[in-house]
Amino acid sequence: MLGNFSYKNATKLYFGEDSLSYLNEELPRYGKNVVLIYGGGSIKKNGIYDDVLAILKANGKNVVEDGGVMPNPTADKLREGVKLARAHNADLLLAVGGGSCCDYAKAVSVSVHCDEDPWDKYFARFEEPDCEIVPVGCVLTMTGTGSEMNGGSVITNHDTHQKIGHVFGDEVMPKFAILNPRYTMSLPKRQMVAGIYDIFNHICEQYFSGEDDNVSDDLAEALMKSVIRNSLVAIEDPENYEARSNIMWAATWALNTLISRGKTTDWMVHMLGQAAGAYTDATHGMTLSAVSLPYYRHILPYGLQKFRRFAIGVWGVDAAGKTDEEIANAGLLAMEQWMRKLGVAMRLSELGATEDMIEGIADATIILKGGYKVLDRAEVIEILRKSL
Amino acid sequence: MLGNFSYKNATKLYFGEDSLSYLNEELPRYGKNVVLIYGGGSIKKNGIYDDVLAILKANGKNVVEDGGVMPNPTADKLREGVKLARAHNADLLLAVGGGSCCDYAKAVSVSVHCDEDPWDKYFARFEEPDCEIVPVGCVLTMTGTGSEMNGGSVITNHDTHQKIGHVFGDEVMPKFAILNPRYTMSLPKRQMVAGIYDIFNHICEQYFSGEDDNVSDDLAEALMKSVIRNSLVAIEDPENYEARSNIMWAATWALNTLISRGKTTDWMVHMLGQAAGAYTDATHGMTLSAVSLPYYRHILPYGLQKFRRFAIGVWGVDAAGKTDEEIANAGLLAMEQWMRKLGVAMRLSELGATEDMIEGIADATIILKGGYKVLDRAEVIEILRKSL
């Protein structure tokens, strides 16, 4: 059944090959001072930077640039960005990039008009924003995190070896987001598949929890099937617009709160992966893939019926003549085969993790309680060892 | 593939057994003058009227009542409602009822500050609102239309024998909606199943169009499967909260624009059903069920692959050893068996339609072009005859 909940998601999305032109419709809604946020500069090579800047200029905006947002945005970078946005009297934070840029923009947005240190306030103490929030818009150039239509923001603190996400409320969600599937085609394959696995795991995190019949789980299965089918096309033919557009749209709905309504969720793969990420600085999606199968095989006995449903409903496992355990395991085997076809990391050691980091990663792993088994420290260590 | 589109849906939803209490959070956002819109008075019998009025009074609202909204709200009633809301200087239109009340409230909302006749402007000439829109809130007591989270409004004009829907933009969508599955349990079974079929057909109308792979169609199948599964529980055990809550939430997502993003849609069953409704004043969902199978069997050869996919993906038809036509037909047969189990109307004659109305209903049927076959008049007549 569906538990009690509320739902609001007011982000305006423009999707498609012509979507950037709608920036002209959105910009007049905001004041003159825009902070243009971007990452390592790939947008300067593929022309998106020039296109966005031309639209900003045509709309008479006073633009300051905040480039160099790293794949795992740091607390130090966040503090700098807050200063910059404050000095610029920012009316709009326009993030052009992937989830990292969008996450970062949201963290800046809730900190510009706050005096406290943003890491301490939001990522150490998990406080909610109590000051004016600067509006955020996103032009998405890679897909995966769903950050374009949610209130989430993940920030990494290298001093404390922590990578922590704060899911803010709907007032922090981007006011608008521009999704052009063609932009995602310029990514190297490794980043594409990391994004695809991130999407898939977002759905798993919300699906592998709870026992009741729930329309949210039906929607989750639909998104998983679409991601699987289209990913197999995209790895053979990365320029396939049908595949890339379906993946991009599924990514948005995988993590914009819809499929978690009225049910519990897990998120332990993210806790394990983020802890590993804080130690290795590896690509987010790859840390998730490396820990997923050891984790899911560990919890399978506790959530047997859901893993059975997953096997049949998502992977088309033929149940005839098999025990529930056999069906459930066949589902995870099908998932493993798909992951290997994608070419995502299957072990943390591929990402630079070493045996001597295990204790530290375990310490950095936040233990959540929504999954089929609440892990103890020994289980975390065991799963990390099997993932190594 | 997904065509270009935009998406925004800012309705705040409160879902669950405690959801009415959130009316206390919403009311302070609006001015003092509230028009309380409701239907035939069933809310006075089941206590919802008293509960809502108590909250309105506790929030210091100046309430005027606009009751008696009929299942198919009329143009005449709409004109009266506009006058009432205008005289009351309405700051909020609060609809307490099913989709009819919510549809009606939206039609009033775009007309209070417009001088033109609302039927002529919005339902005859299909103009867009160009005057101030009065905010609408909904407390849903039956489920089916999805009106609580969309911009749609269907109004019937008995003078012209027309029942016409106008789908307004996101600015006309309700600002908030309160969805308590328990409220839907007080309905007679006939209304419950009419609502369930309405939900199912909303999904069909968006699904049976287009040939491409599209995540919207995956989501549509998920919603259909949930509706089918839960409806079979609800007809045996109408007080089953799990079933009723899933049906209610699926109804919202069946028609809040999500599953039509980036694809074409059909809506011919609604055109046929609404034309029949204008002649018979029958329950909306029943007019849809009565015309559905003759229509779908007629267009099946033109959309064979989609009907094949529907049979396997939604109804679990075993494809082994069957031709595509046999698979597709087996899907519609499974759908027919489910409809008979539900107890929805299988023929227009059950709803009071007679042979001599056929020509008139055909005249009132708007022919749309998004489906697998654009009907000509002879085909409309043939389908109506087979539905009789």
From chain A, the residues in CB contact with B9 under 8 A are 9-10
Grouping H, G, I as helix, E, B as strand and the rest as coil, residue A289 is helix
The residue count of chain A comes to 388
Q: Answer whether residue A3 is part of any domain.
A: no
Shortest distance between the Cα of B173 and any Cα of chain A, in A, equals: 12
Same-domain pairing of B312 and B339? yes
- The reported pLDDT for the residue numbered B378 is 98
Grouping H, G, I as helix, E, B as strand and the rest as coil, residue A386 is helix
Query: Cβ(B137)–Cβ(B95) under 8 Å?
Result: yes
Q: Do A9 and B9 touch (CB under 8 A)?
A: yes
Tell me how far apart the terminal alpha carbons of chain B are, to the nearest angstrom.
Answer: 38
Q: Answer whether residue A5 is part of any domain.
A: no
Q: Do A16 and B1 touch (CB under 8 A)?
A: no
Q: Is A262 left (phi over 0), alpha (psi -120 to 50) or beta?
A: left
Nearest to B14 among A6, A15, A223 (CB): A6
The whole-angstrom separation of Cα B76 and Cα B157 is: 8
- The reported pLDDT for the residue numbered A186 is 87
The whole-angstrom separation of Cα B1 and Cα B217 is: 11
Give the number of domains in chain B. 2
Query: Cβ(B7)–Cβ(A13) under 8 Å?
Result: yes
Q: Best residue in A212, A246, A248, A263 to probe B by mutation, most B CBs within 10 Å?
A: A246
Shortest distance between the Cα of A73 and any Cα of chain B, in A, equals: 29
Nearest to B19 among A4, A212, A246 (CB): A4
Chain B residue closest in CA terms to A3 = B16
The whole-angstrom separation of Cα A268 and Cα A275 is: 11
B201: containing domain: 189-387
pLDDT tens for each residue of B190-241: 999 999 999 999 999 999 999 888 999 999 999 999 999 999 999 999 999 9
Q: Do B218 and A226 touch (CB under 8 A)?
A: yes
From the CA atom positions of chain A, what is the Rg in Å?
Answer: 20
- The reported pLDDT for the residue numbered B212 is 87
The three-point CA angle B308-B312-B316 to 5° equals 150
Listed in sequence order, the residues at least 6 apart from B187 whose beta carbon sits closer than 8 Å to its beta carbon are B141, B142, B195
The whole-angstrom separation of Cα A147 and Cα A71 is: 13
Shortest distance between the Cα of B115 and any Cα of chain A, in A, equals: 29
- Interface A-B, measured as beta-carbon pairs within 8 A, has a size of 127
Q: Answer whether residue A1 is part of any domain.
A: no
Question: A164, A183, A202 — which closes off a domain?
Answer: A183
Nearest to B249 among A11, A215, A241 (CB): A215
A17 touches chain B (CB under 8 A): yes
Same-domain pairing of B321 and B359? yes
Grouping H, G, I as helix, E, B as strand and the rest as coil, residue A362 is helix
Phi, psi of A163 (to 5 degrees): -125, 110
Nearest to B221 among A12, A18, A222 (CB): A222
Same-domain pairing of B237 and B310? yes
Same-domain pairing of B162 and B207? no
Shortest distance between the Cα of A221 and any Cα of chain B, in A, equals: 8
Residue (of B154, B144, B62) closest to B98 by Cα position: B144
Same-domain pairing of B135 and B168? yes
Q: Answer whether residue A7 is part of any domain.
A: no
CB contacts under 8 A, B 180-209 vs A, are: 181
Average of per-residue pLDDT across B101-108 = 98
Nearest to B2 among A215, A218, A245 (CB): A245
Same-domain pairing of A142 and A29? yes
Q: How confident is the model at residue B161 (pLDDT cuts 50, 70, 90)?
A: confident
Q: Answer whether residue B207 is part of any domain.
A: yes
Cβ of B366: how many Cβ atoms within 10 Å? 14
Same-domain pairing of A228 and A173? no
Nearest to B12 among A3, A8, A15 (CB): A8
From chain B, the residues in CB contact with A260 under 8 A are none
Task: Write out the two tokens for B363.
Answer: 């005249």
Listed in sequence order, the residues at least 6 apart from B134 whose beta carbon sits closer than 8 Å to its beta carbon are B85, B90, B91, B92, B93, B108, B109, B112, B113
Residue (of A43, A377, A332) closest to A178 by Cα position: A43
The whole-angstrom separation of Cα A238 and Cα A364 is: 36
CATH at residue B285: 1.20.1090.10
Same-domain pairing of A175 and A208? no
Same-domain pairing of A151 and A66? yes
Shortest distance between the Cα of B214 and any Cα of chain A, in A, equals: 6
Q: Do A8 and B4 touch (CB under 8 A)?
A: no
Question: B160, B183, B206 — which closes off a domain?
Answer: B183
Q: Do B219 and A215 touch (CB under 8 A)?
A: no
- The reported pLDDT for the residue numbered A212 is 86
Indicate the DSSP class of residue B21. Answer: G
From chain B, the residues in CB contact with A241 under 8 A are 1
Listed in sequence order, the residues at least 6 apart from A351 whose beta carbon sits closer than 8 Å to its beta carbon are A276, A280, A282, A283, A286, A287, A290, A345
- The reported pLDDT for the residue numbered A57 is 98
pTM: 0.96
User: In which residue ranges of chain A is pLDDT below 70?
Assistant: none
Q: Answer whether residue B2 is part of any domain.
A: no
pLDDT at B294 > cutoff 90: yes
The three-point CA angle B130-B132-B133 to 5° equals 100
Q: Do B218 and A223 touch (CB under 8 A)?
A: yes
State how far the alpha carbon of B59 is from the alpha carbons of A84, B31, B53, B285, in Å: 43, 10, 10, 36
pLDDT at B177 > cutoff 90: yes
Residue (of A56, A57, A67, A48) closest to A23 by Cα position: A56
Average of per-residue pLDDT across B292-300 = 98
pLDDT tens for each residue of B250-274: 999 999 999 999 999 999 999 999 9
Q: Best residue in A5, A7, A22, A260 to probe B by mutation, most B CBs within 10 Å?
A: A7
The whole-angstrom separation of Cα B326 and Cα A67 is: 59
3-state helix, strand, coil in chain A (%, to 5): 55, 15, 30
Strand ranges for chain A from DSSP E: 5-15, 33-38, 62-66, 92-97, 136-140, 152-157, 162-167, 176-179
Strand ranges for A49-197 from DSSP E: 62-66, 92-97, 136-140, 152-157, 162-167, 176-179
CB contacts under 8 A, A 242-301 vs B, are: 242, 245-246, 249-250, 253, 258, 261-262
CB contacts under 8 A, B 114-133 vs A, are: none
Question: B183, B206, B227 — which closes off a domain?
Answer: B183
The whole-angstrom separation of Cα A243 and Cα A234 is: 6
Same-domain pairing of A130 and A229? no
From chain A, the residues in CB contact with B246 under 8 A are 1-2, 213-215
pLDDT tens for each residue of B14-68: 999 999 999 999 999 999 999 999 999 889 999 999 999 999 999 999 999 999 9
Q: Answer whether residue B7 is part of any domain.
A: no
Average of per-residue pLDDT across B144-168 = 93
CATH at residue B166: 3.40.50.1970
- The reported pLDDT for the residue numbered A100 is 95
Listed in sequence order, the residues at least 6 apart from B130 whose beta carbon sits closer than 8 Å to its beta carbon are B114
Strand ranges for chain B from DSSP E: 5-15, 33-38, 62-66, 92-97, 136-140, 152-157, 162-167, 176-179
* Percent of chain B residues past pLDDT 70, beyond the cut: 100
Shortest distance between the Cα of B174 and any Cα of chain A, in A, equals: 12
CA B301 to chain centre: 27
- The reported pLDDT for the residue numbered B65 is 98
| Beta-sheet pairing, A162-167 with A152-157 | antiparallel
- The reported pLDDT for the residue numbered B26 is 98
pLDDT tens for each residue of B297-310: 999 999 999 999 99
The whole-angstrom separation of Cα A167 and Cα B51 is: 34
Residue (of B236, B78, B229) closest to B164 by Cα position: B78
Same-domain pairing of A272 and A378? yes
Same-domain pairing of A164 and A216? no
